[in-house]
Amino acid sequence: MQAAAGDAFTESGLQAAVSFGGNGQAHVDGIVGSEIVVEIESRVAKQVRGAVLDLILHIYPKKAASSHSRPHARRGDDRRTVSVHPRQVS
């Protein structure tokens, strides 16, 4: 993400926090600028559901999710397929 977005990408700080109310809090994988929140996950269903929830609850209006898979991977093969699906929430 850093290579794609440059200095506009941030992985930490208050902007990356997602509040669940009370003491509950999570952190998204990063933010780009002042409007886009980013989550990057594998295709494990439980992790993807958590990432989607984090995106829904984050205050930024634009969301980007990326999922990774290795459909034809062999042992030792580190190639990845990446899908990015940006969505604006009104």
User: What token pair was written down for 55?
Assistant: 């995106």
Q: Which domain holds residue 7?
A: 2-88
pTM metric for this prediction: 0.61
Q: What is the pLDDT of residues 23-53, one digit of tens each?
A: 888 888 888 998 898 988 877 888 888 888 8
**What's the CA gap between 8 and 76, in Å, rounded?**
33
What is the separation of C-alpha 56 from the centre of its chain, rounded to a whole number of angstroms?
Answer: 11
**What's the CA gap between 41 and 30, in Å, rounded?**
12
What integer is the mean pLDDT of 63-87? Answer: 59
Q: How many structural domains compose the chain?
A: 1
